[in-house]
Amino acid sequence: MTMRGYKVYQCIDGLLEIDTSDRITQDASELCFNLPDLLERVKTGYIPNIRFTSSSESFGALKENIWRTKAAGRPCYAYFIILAGDDVSGNRSKAWNKHNSFYMSPAGLPVQLVNQEFFIQYASTSQKATPLEQAAAISAQVKKGQENGIVVWDCKEQTEALNIPHLYALPGDGPWQADECSHMGMNAGCGCRFCKAGGPLKHRLSDEGFNELFEVQAPREPSSTRDTVLRHLRLAAEAQKGAQIEREQKATGVRDQLAQPVIDRLLEAGKKIKRTKNDLGHFPGNEEVTRQLHELYHEIMKDVGEDAYINPLLSVDPKHFNVHLDTPIDILHLILLGLTKYFWSVLLPKRKGDKQMSAKDRQILAFAEAILSTLDQTGCASREIQPAYIIQFRGSLVGRHFEVIIQLAVFLCWRFATLPLLEVFITLGRLGTLAFAHRIYDIDPFLVRLVG
């Protein structure tokens, strides 16, 4: 076990001076006493009273870690959680029956164990509750666990332990993660959920704006996103603000799936009030519309408060979790089912009936199948693909097929693809070797290859 802290120096007059210029890390076994023992020895006079210089007085209020009391002698661990989600079908047949589901697994497991079924815990599923509504309940449980910890059984040490839960990462596909970040996705002016890259369409179409899309811009902050959502909620309670809210959402990319139904309800109510004549036969002015909308807004928020209609992931565990940074890119959908699938469809002729296909297209497909049959697939994936199946059903392949194709397609390109397409598959092959590396043994040369 290690510890982090500052170096302490004793002055000539016996006062202690803390060097806060740099934090150091040392082995905890080097400590002679823990804090309770140290305070007891000061109390009994075994150790002189601890006094600090004026510049280090803030360190004089030595307090026992609150978790020492809550643990009551048990080992205490920070328990980081991977919370994965996706929309899946609840039917065994091909009929789509959408269910939004969440699953949890421990983030500290060795990589070879993370995806084993034993370590994946079902969290929730629903046909009706949206991902953010389910995330609100899960976040509430995490917050409750952070207050007093969760008592568990440590099977290795054969004793009780106290776990303090923290969210670590939220894997998922692009649209799912965009919802978790209160983001509109690629339809927004700033289409990145990680940073504020983008801008007005005219700027994005310019040379300067287009190049900026490939550079990291100012990072998004959960607190700032939350403030934007809250402003949109309150703005919806003003008369004739629908167009302004829509412009801001498209410009910033911020749109919260929990807040949006309330915003839509308020905007629709404002339109209805504006169209309704009063007792004197006059249409109400903006001040009257705003007054009635404020009454409706306070009625909606009366029992639950504004937080109930704002993405809880924007405020959960801010010290350890940032929803904008901790929604890692899904390599399955982005690289395999995105880039690889698209360029694979360009590489080979489209699927047609035998009578509609030209002799040249049939020759290309036969040649591609022959090349795939001669290639060694050892190490490409957990199981081999069948070349005849890949060619025949080339438009209906899934992720495990493209995991092999991304590595082998370059051997097809050199014979009948254009030079730009050949370069694309060379780049995809190199990207695949980096993206699907389950363990990075030496980070420095890996980053050089990744950037290069």
Q: What is the mean pLDDT of residues 342-351?
A: 84
Q: How many residues does the chain have?
A: 452
Longest Cα–Cα distance in the chain? 99
Asked whether residue 183 carries a pLDDT value surpassing 70, the answer given is: yes
Residue 147: CA atoms inside 13 Å, Cβ hemisphere, count?
6
Tokens of 376: 């060694």
- Average pLDDT for the chain: 87
Q: At residue 331, what is the residue type?
A: I
CA distances to 240, 258, 281, 302, 411 from 293, in Å: 11, 19, 20, 14, 65
Q: How many CB atoms are closer than 10 A to CB 137? A: 13
Q: Cβ-count burial of 253 within 10 angstroms (0-12 exposed, 13-18 middle, 19+ buried)?
A: buried
Residue 4 has a pLDDT of 82
H helices within 115-219, ranges in order? 131-148, 174-180, 201-205, 207-212
Q: What is the mean pLDDT of residues 400-410?
A: 88
Residue 333 has a pLDDT of 84
pLDDT tens digits for range 108-130: 888 888 878 899 999 999 988 99
Q: Which among 233-242, 352-361, 389-398 has the top mean pLDDT?
A: 233-242
Asked whether residue 232 carries a pLDDT value surpassing 60, the answer given is: yes
* E-only strand ranges, 310-408: none
Rg over alpha carbons for the chain, rounded to the nearest Å, is 29
Residue 180 has a pLDDT of 94
CA distances to 16, 26, 45, 48, 199 from 38, in Å: 15, 19, 11, 11, 57
Helices (H), strands (E): how many in the chain? 19, 7
How does residue 93 score in pLDDT terms, banded at 50, 70 and 90? low
Tokens of 210: 């287009």
Return d(Cα 362, Cα 357) in angstroms, integer: 7
Quick one: which of 219, 226, 301, 299 has its CA closest to 256? 226
Residue with token string 């995105």:
338
Pair 256, 311: CB distance under 8 Å: yes
Asked whether residue 81 carries a pLDDT value surpassing 90, the answer given is: yes
Q: Could you state, in order of their start, the residue ranges of all structural domains in the chain?
A: 2-64, 76-176, 221-310, 331-451
Residue with token string 């409706």:
296
Residue with token string 């490409």:
380
DSSP annotation of 167: E
Share of the chain above pLDDT 70, in %: 97
Residue 370: CA atoms inside 13 Å, Cβ hemisphere, count?
7
Residue 357 has a pLDDT of 77
How does residue 234 score in pLDDT terms, banded at 50, 70 and 90? very high
Lowest-confidence pick of 159-163, 223-227, 351-355:
351-355
Q: Which residue has the higher pLDDT, 348 or 146?
A: 146
Pair 184, 193: CB distance under 8 Å: no
Quick one: which of 178, 149, 172, 143 has its CA closest to 161? 149
Q: Which among 228-242, 265-279, 437-451 has the top mean pLDDT?
A: 228-242
Share of the chain above pLDDT 90, in %: 40
Return d(Cα 404, Cα 402) in angstroms, integer: 5
Return d(Cα 284, Cα 330) in angstroms, integer: 51
Pair 385, 401: CB distance under 8 Å: yes
